[in-house]
Amino acid sequence: MVEKEVVFVYCHHCGKVVQEDMQYCPNCGYPLQNSPYVYHETDAPSFLFALISFFAPLAGLVLYIIWRKDFPQKAKSCMNGMICGIIAEILVTIFLMSYLSQNIMGVIINI
C-alpha cells in the first residue's frame, strides 16, 4: 500500500493550516515563505472514519467529497462505510416491515 504524504504549514498571521506549496494564505493573504511550523499528514485507510460513515452516512458523504482529491484512501474508507451503512439500513427496514406486517395481520385475523 502506497501512502500519499501531504505537507502542511501554519500561517504565521492567522494560524490556519495550509498546504506547503501555497505562496499565500487563502484565509488572510499573508505570504507563507519560511514557515517553521510544519507537520505531515499521511493518507491511509481509516477504520474510524469508515465506522463513523456506517452509522452516519451523510457524514460519510461529506467527508468523501472533502477528501476525495487530497486523501483518496481516507475518502474511499468513508465511501465504503457509507455504502455498508445504507445497505444495512435498507435490510433492517425490510426485516422490520416484514415482521410488523405479519404481526398486524395476526392481530386482524384474531379480531
pTM value surpassing 0.85: no
Q: Is the pLDDT of residue 29 over 90?
A: no
CA dist 94 and 9 (Å) reads 49
Q: What average pLDDT does the structure give for the chain?
A: 83
| pLDDT at residue 106, rounded to an integer | 64
Q: How confident is the model at residue 34 (pLDDT cuts 50, 70, 90)?
A: low
Q: Tell me: the pLDDT tens digits for 47-83?
A: 999 999 999 999 999 999 999 988 899 999 999 999 9
Q: With 0-12 CB in 10 A as exposed, 13-18 as middle and 19+ as buried, what is 47?
A: exposed
| pLDDT at residue 40, rounded to an integer | 57
User: In the block, which residue shows the cell 502542511?
Assistant: 8
CA dist 111 and 108 (Å) reads 5
Chain centroid to CA 35? 29
Q: Do 49 and 67 touch, CB atoms closer than 8 A?
A: no
